[in-house]
Amino acid sequence: MEFLNFPAILVAAVSALVVGFIWYNPKVFGNAWMQAAGMTDEQVKGGNMAKIFILAFVFAFLLAMTMMQLSIHQTGALSLVGGDASAALPSYAAFMADYGDAFRTYKHGALHGVLAGVFVALPIIGTNALFERKSAKYIFINSGYWIVTLGVMGAIVCGWK
C-alpha cells in the first residue's frame, strides 16, 4: 500500500513508550497515577516488565497503523479503488497528482491524533473507570496520556513522507 510507511509506524509505536516513560515518571504523573489506580511500588515492580513492554509495543504498533488511516485522508481514496492503485482508473492517478500530499503535515496528523484521544480514548477510559469506581484524577491522567500519545503518533505517521 502506498501510504504504509513502516519506519514511521515503528517510530510512532516507540513514541508511545517514550511518552509513557515521561508521563508516568514519578516526577510527572507517576505518583498521582499510582495513588489514583490504587497501585503500590511493590505491585508496579512485581510485574513481568518484559511481557508488559512487549505487549505495550504491539498495541502501540496497532494504534500507529490506525492513526495512519485516521490522519492520511488519501487512504480513503485508495480504499475507493479497492486498495490497488495499479488497477485504478486514470482519474485516480490524476487525483493523487493533484492532492497526494494535501494535509500530509505533522500538524495535521497531531490534530487528528488529539481528536482521536478526546473522542475515542477519553470516552473508553472514562466508561471503564466509572464502572471500576476510579476517580476523575485517574480518568484525566490516563486519558491525558493517550491524548498526547495519539497526537504524537498522528504527527509522525501523517507528516513523515
If one compares 143 and 46, the residue with the highest pLDDT of the two is: 143
pTM of the model: 0.93
Each residue's pLDDT tens digit, 97-137 = 999 999 999 999 999 999 999 999 999 999 999 999 999 99
What pLDDT does residue 151 have?
A: 98
CA distance 21 to 7: 21
Structure-block grid coordinates of residue 21:
516513560
Domain ranges of the chain: 6-159
Backbone dihedral region for residue 83 (phi beyond 0: left; psi -120 to 50: alpha; all else: beta): left
Find where cell 516526577 sits.
27
CA distance 28 to 15: 17
The sign one gets for the Cα dihedral 116, 108, 65, 144 is negative
Each residue's pLDDT tens digit, 61-91 = 999 999 999 999 999 898 999 989 999 999 9
**Residue 114 and residue 107 in contact, taking contact as beta carbons nearer than 8 Å:** no
Provide mean pLDDT across the span 49-62. 97
Structure-block grid coordinates of residue 68:
495512519
Structure-block grid coordinates of residue 44:
508496579
What does pLDDT average to over the chain? 95
CA distance 18 to 12: 10
The Cβ of residue 84 has, within 10 Å, a number of other Cβ atoms equal to 9
What pLDDT does residue 99 have?
A: 93
The Cβ of residue 8 has, within 10 Å, a number of other Cβ atoms equal to 22
What pLDDT does residue 1 have?
A: 53
What pLDDT does residue 44 have?
A: 87
